[in-house]
Amino acid sequence: MQPITTKNENGETMEIKWDDDGNIQVRHSDIDKKRFGQLCELSKRSRQPGLKQFLKGRGIDADSPDVQALLARMGSVLVIEGRSFTINAEETALILDTVKRNGGILPNWSSLL
């Protein structure tokens, strides 16, 4: 598919494409103008057992409302060749909205948007 182009509030260009499995790839002008990366939402990652055990060992309940509210504001990461780049919550919402408005399939973690 041809990428859909949008701009964030700072005027940075994001090219977005996706597949039928809900995998979203983004090329972000402020991160890497040449390569696409895989979008990975942080609150989905927080449900992984390893992180829950890590937090539990430090006396933090990963399922508490406070932790969940914090994770929802953290946005996502863009993974390009093993390197992670933070995408804020506003840009994540813009990316997911662009996919949704253009008939794309949203991954399970974004079904509440």
pLDDT at 109 (0 to 100): 55
- What is the 3-state secondary structure of 42-58? HHHHCCCHHHHHHHHCC
Please state whether the predicted TM-score (pTM) of the whole model is above 0.85.
Answer: no
The tokens describing 24, both together, are 């979203």
The pLDDT tens digits for 72-104 are 777 888 999 999 999 988 999 899 999 999 988
The pLDDT tens digits for 22-73 are 889 999 999 999 999 999 877 666 666 777 888 889 998 888 888 877 777 7
**Would you give the end-to-end CA distance of the chain in angstroms?**
23
Where do the structural domains in the chain lie, given as residue ranges? 4-41+75-110
Residue 64: DSSP 8-state: S
Q: Is the pLDDT of residue 21 over 50?
A: yes
Residue 69: DSSP 8-state: H
